Amino acid sequence: MDRCIVLVVIGSVLLGLPTVLGQLKKCTSREKCTAIGDCPAFEKYIGTPYSTWPEKVLNEARTMYCGSEQRGSNKIHQVCCSTSEGFADHSTSKVKKGRDLLDLRECGKQSKPRIANGKVAEVFEFPWMALLRGFDGTFHCGGSLIAERYVLTAAHCGFIQVWSVRLGETDLSQDVDCNQYPGEEEDCADPPQDIPVDKFLRRKYSASQKKNDIALVRLKYAAQLSDSVRPICLPLPEIAVKSLPRKMTVSGWGYTELANKISDQLRYAHIPIVGLTECNQTLRRLNTVWSVDQSQVCAGADDDKADNCHGDSGGPLQYFGRTGFVIYGIVSYGVASCGTEAEPGIYTKVSHYLDWIIDNLI
């Protein structure tokens, strides 16, 4: 059965959609009036009655409603669904402005660099970590702050229709995060910042091939930078290192496609980089349908299988560069298999998309 048809049984009355042309939304040049069941913003709710949808989701559908189409005997509701591949035009001035938004002197630095031996992160240790909140008010993905108004994440995280981003978080079970060291005063972070999302930009993401799994989130307003909120460095030539470390660091709370959350506390792990040839051999041996290419990074599959658990979908794979931490990859897929047979995690290679990222910082 067409996945859109299941949405018709409740009808326009319950959904409260406009019934006269004057109330319909006129889609912008970056939107297309499409069946609600084909719009990624509502992917999670397809196949369920409108009566079970959260009120926020229904309100969004109402504001996006642009008409309906007849499919046989069924009336299919349509919404203005984003088709944008970019925020900006591709003029030289936009590219230069993009670089100007990056804090190359302070990015990737820890205000109080205490690298613990354990795998629970200290407050202030990863100040660029972000959490993406969906329609239902819960966190579904991670991300990395790269500029005051921009968070880098995975494209597949957009299917939960990101509403806001949390910055400056370490322990979800605490209202205020603090470090307490013997003989020292308690050192506390500012309260986390929850900032609404302005735009969610993908770059020609292929869900079936797991390619181009990268997205840029623009916040409605700039984050307030502090010891607990600070951007990570992009792999620009003046910051990245030529000889990459054998192991890199993944950090997060464990939000993945198959694991709702592993820990209230931000955790991290050091995992080895795996060559593409070896990675593809492993993926074939495990009978997966995907392969990796130069736009991706393979990491993990170490003796400590639990290492693969600590990242979030959309979260960073990072290393310490010339002056601070540099984001090397974005958690894409594979990490959901943690604790089972050693399987490498697949990450989107950030340097492959560097021009696209900078071009869309406006």
Q: Are 160 and 338 in contact (CB under 8 A)?
A: no
Q: In what order do the strands lie in the sheet with 65-71?
A: 31-35, 74-82, 65-71
Q: What does the buried/exposed string (b/e) look like for 14-47 if buried means 16 or more CB atoms within 10 Å of the residue's CB?
A: ebebeeeeeebbebeeebbbbbbbbbbbbebbee
Question: Are the C-beta atoms of 44 and 3 separated by less than 8 Å?
Answer: no
Catalytic residue status for 243? no
Q: Which of 68, 144, 177, 213 is catalytic?
A: 213
Q: How far apart are CA 313 and CA 307, in angstroms?
A: 14
In terms of Cα–Cα distance, which of 250, 56, 221, 228 is closest to 138? 56
Separation CA 347–CA 330 (nearest Å)? 5
Residue for token pair 């995690």: 345
How crowded is the C-beta side of 18, counted as CA atoms within 13 Å?
A: 17
351 catalytic per annotation: no
Mark whether 136 is an active-site residue. no
Residue 48 tokens, joined = 């369920």
Catalytic residue among 77, 82, 144, 156: 156
Question: Which listed residue (82, 164, 313, 351) is catalytic?
Answer: 313
Residue with tokens 């597949």: 156
Q: Which of 331, 88, 108 is nearest to 235 (CA)?
A: 108
Residues catalogued as catalytic: 156, 213, 313
